[in-house]
Amino acid sequence: MDVLNKMANRGHEQVAMYSDPASGLRGIIAIHDTTLGPACGGTRMWPYATEADALADALNLSQAMTYKSAAAGLNLGGGKGVIIGNPRTDKTEALLRAWGRFVDTLGGRYLTTTDVGTTGRDLETVHQETEHVVGLDLTLGGSGDTSIMTGLGIYMGMRACAADVWGADCLRGRTVAMQGFGKVASRTAEHLLDDDVRVIAADVSETALDRARQMGVQVVAPDDIYDVDCDIFAPCALGGVINAKTIDRLRCRIVAGGANNQLATPEDGEELHRRGIIYAPDFLINAGGIINAAAEIGQPYNPERSRQQTERIYEQMSAVLTTAHEKEIATARAADMLAEARLAEVRRVRQIWRS
């Protein structure tokens, strides 16, 4: 799989692989950068077709976590865990405990939480074997479900984009098309529906679609979501969905959603820019969850502080839009520059004090 070259290309510090045949666990933890603090990122469980696919996802997602925490002003690095398997059929207590043992071997260099395919209850099982978890239930002294703040942050990011495109940050009467209606999308939709926004969603899960219908959300077939005539297209399922094949189909002014790594390639961010579609960089507007989780590290969790910090995503998105306009660059590039500048500054300060 040429792992070391792949790591070197984007500055990954560490990749650890773990196999526990007895429980069926096959997993990878990628640590991208710990300049700002311990690597933090959720554990994803997904039936990857190949080990190479799982590794690629871990490398991409861990790098995105570095950028996310850096841009959000958090003292956390970027990491991600992936478990190869079907969360519906392969998840057992033994597998999750084995995962906890694996996380524990890294001694706190990596802190895990939930992601696609893992739930708060799964995290409690992982926690039986390691202290290095964040986002446990409030009743266990944790900061609780990350998707609540993630949804709030996405909503704030959408409003900042609306102010840029339409001159007012009110979303009333707008149409938002959501790809995926899981935890993050439904939390985002709560804010949108409160504002009388028309929400249209697609999902591959009947449970998710039932939840959508109960909330008053219109449902379309998964592949039709790209063609929906809307103001905002919100990818809230998996990554890579903004690509050469889908961009042509988009009928929106803004792309703003919760999924990580929405752009298949950096060129797709440039293409949106050329077409005058404002892209809200995913790691910038979906940072509410990590902001919330970070609020429980080293101090008692305070939901109000977490909310205030998440609401600042509005100003961060506005600042990225201003930079993008001034420099005539894509918003994705402007957000990368913001994160890279903070990482470079902290590295520079550390080097001065080391020499």
How many angstroms separate the most distant Cα atoms in the chain? 61
Please report how close the Cβ of residue 2 comes to ligand NAD at its closest, in angstroms.
25
Nearer to ligand NAD, 238 or 329 (CB): 238
Exactly one of 81, 180, 269, 281 binds ligand NAD (CB under 6 A); which one? 180
Please report how close the Cβ of residue 238 comes to ligand NAD at its closest, in angstroms.
5
User: 82, 46 in Cβ contact below 8 A?
Assistant: yes
Pairing of strands 232-235, 218-219: unpaired
Q: Catalytic residue numbers?
A: 80
Residues making up the chain, counted from first to last: 355
Does residue 146 bind ligand NAD (CB under 6 A)?
Answer: yes
Long-range contacts of 201-206 (CB under 8 A, 24+ apart): 201/177, 201/225, 202/177, 202/178, 203/237
Pairing of strands 39-46, 198-202: unpaired
Does residue 3 bind ligand NAD (CB under 6 A)?
Answer: no
Does residue 259 bind ligand NAD (CB under 6 A)?
Answer: yes
Q: In what order do the strands lie in the sheet with 175-179?
A: 218-219, 198-202, 175-179, 232-235, 254-255, 278-279
Nearer to ligand NAD, 208 or 228 (CB): 208
Please report how close the Cβ of residue 279 comes to ligand NAD at its closest, in angstroms.
16
Please report how close the Cβ of residue 262 comes to ligand NAD at its closest, in angstroms.
8
Residues 202-221 that bind ligand NAD (CB under 6 A): 202-205, 208
Does residue 182 bind ligand NAD (CB under 6 A)?
Answer: yes
- Tell me the C-alpha distance between 269 and 279, whole Å: 7
- Tell me the C-alpha distance between 85 and 109, whole Å: 24
Nearer to ligand NAD, 147 or 316 (CB): 147
CA-wise closest residue to 17 among 90, 84, 108, 67? 84
Does residue 116 bind ligand NAD (CB under 6 A)?
Answer: yes
Nearer to ligand NAD, 43 or 130 (CB): 43
Does residue 81 bind ligand NAD (CB under 6 A)?
Answer: no
User: 76, 290 in Cβ contact below 8 A?
Assistant: yes
Helix (H), strand (E) at residue 19 = strand 14-20
Does residue 237 bind ligand NAD (CB under 6 A)?
Answer: yes
Please report how close the Cβ of residue 145 comes to ligand NAD at its closest, in angstroms.
8
Task: Please identify the residue of the shown chain whose CB is closest to the bound ligand NAD.
Answer: 182
* Contacts with ligand NAD, residue ranges (CB under 6 A): 115-116, 146-147, 150, 179-185, 202-205, 208, 222, 236-238, 258-260, 286, 289
